[in-house]
Structure 1
């Protein structure tokens, strides 16, 4: 992923379990990104705070009427892969809320 992911990975490096969890999150986002990019958009991991996963939508995704459904789809895949409930939260401009 991009440089921002390295920062997130460094924050989670203290715990092996956190690092594995972060790997799964990044893997799910990487699976979804090509579809978003084909439509002129993108999604980037900003921060993981417990069960809250903050992402930044960019490009065509910012003004898309279906961005809510995109976030729900990402959340659904993450819940499936992680085996736990998580909440995907969009943040503006990549700045955590």
Structure 2
């Protein structure tokens, strides 16, 4: 169980994602934070990351790994495809 509320996670998650963002941007991609609910971080991969065959690996071994190291080991990340409606 994650000992933080979704609101408490927002700032640290944004900061952690900002450390990963340059790696994505070097390859012509980026990501947008869509929201956090129950310890699940929802993002949308954009640019070259959108539809890339390696995007699943990027999420698990890049984004999720960094969030778990920086904040809490039980956080997870879900990609919401571009254009898909998303509500928390």
Any idea what the Cα deviations from partners look like across 1:40-84, whole Å, max 9, x if unmatched?
111110010111110000110012111111101211111111124
Alignment of 1:59-78 (within 5 A): 59-72=47-60, 73-78=62-67
3-state SS, counterpart of residue 47 of structure 1: strand
**Superposition TM-score, scaled by structure 1 size:** 0.73
**Superposition TM-score, scaled by structure 2 size:** 0.79
Runs of 4+ in 1 over 6 A off after TM superposition: none
TM-fit CA distance, 1:19: 4.2
Question: Counterparts of 1:24 and 1:31 in 2: how far apart (Å)?
Answer: 11
Which segments of 5 or more consecutive residues in structure 2 lack a partner in the other structure?
none
Over 3 Å counting, the alpha-carbon distance change for 1:39 and 1:80 in structure 2 is: same
Q: Work out which structure has the larger RCO, using CA pairs closer than 8 Å and 6 or more positions apart in sequence.
A: 2
Please state which structure has a larger fraction of its residues in helix.
Answer: 1
Which segments of 5 or more consecutive residues in structure 1 lack a partner in the other structure?
1-15
3-state SS, counterpart of residue 82 of structure 2: helix
Aligned length, in residue pairs: 82
Give the superposed CA RMSD: 2.0
